[in-house]
Amino acid sequence: MTIASAPTVVRTEVYTVPNLVTVVRTVAAIILAVAALVEESIPLAAAAFLTYWIGDMLDGLSARILKQETRFGAVLDILADRACCSLSVAALLVLRPDMALPLTVFLIQFMVLDCHLSLSFLRWPIVSPNYFHVVHRGVYRWNWSPPAKAVNTSALVILVLFAPSALYPLALALAVAVVKALSLVTVSRLPAPALATD
């Protein structure tokens, strides 16, 4: 697939089913994360993460099935992920203060490096990072392929909850941060498509 054959139709709809799913899952995950913070509850923190992850899968799936993928929706999803994740991680930090270092590294990586990297798709005429493989296969594979998405947050959370030492999640958080930094450098060196002129 080339950029020309990727979904590049400019859709401007805001009121779509996927965007509604994004809003609902974000509000629900934030409410659960705040409750987990207040109650210092592992089950509520787990529920916040599950709501965030399942909702994130559902909004993307509904966008593709209903053919309602939009650049607006992609940006909304990226920003909503940060809102859900930051509060869920804060709840986790209250529950596992011994994991402060790996969680801090993760937050810096996810809130800054990954956010900037995810929004970089806007330089090209593609609908979302899910189609970045038409721009650069390696960057897509390491950041937005299904295995990469799973490792980005869920693997770290599982390690934070179950690892006997902070060294394991720290090693993973640092490795992911290195991948994100290298990907950002790679993307910054890619030529953007030439703009049409009259």
DSSP state of 190: S
Q: Which structural domain range is residue 152 located in?
A: 3-188
Residue 198 lies in a domain: no
Separation of alpha carbons 106 and 78, rounded Å: 16
Over the stretch 115-154, which tens digit does the pLDDT of each residue have? Answer: 999 999 999 999 999 999 999 999 999 999 989 988 888 8
Specify the number of domains making up the chain: 1
Residue 170 lies in a domain: yes
> Domain of 65: which CATH number?
1.20.120
pLDDT at 60 over 60: yes
DSSP state of 5: G
Residues 49-76: what's their mean pLDDT? 95
Closest CA to 36 of 49, 27, 45, 23: 45
Residue 153 lies in a domain: yes
Amino acid 134 reads V
Residues 12-16: what's their mean pLDDT? 82
Q: Residue 194: what pLDDT?
A: 62
Residue 18 lies in a domain: yes
- The mean predicted confidence, pLDDT, of the chain is 91
Residue 196 lies in a domain: no
pLDDT at 11 over 90: no
Residue 156 lies in a domain: yes
Q: What is the pTM of this model?
A: 0.88
Q: Residue 198: what pLDDT?
A: 40
Over the stretch 104-125, which tens digit does the pLDDT of each residue have? Answer: 999 999 999 999 999 999 999 9
Residue 194 lies in a domain: no
pLDDT band, residue 1 (cuts 50/70/90): low
Residue 16 lies in a domain: yes
Q: What CA–CA distances, in Å, run from 16 to 21, 105, 107, 130?
A: 9, 35, 30, 18
pLDDT at 10 over 60: no
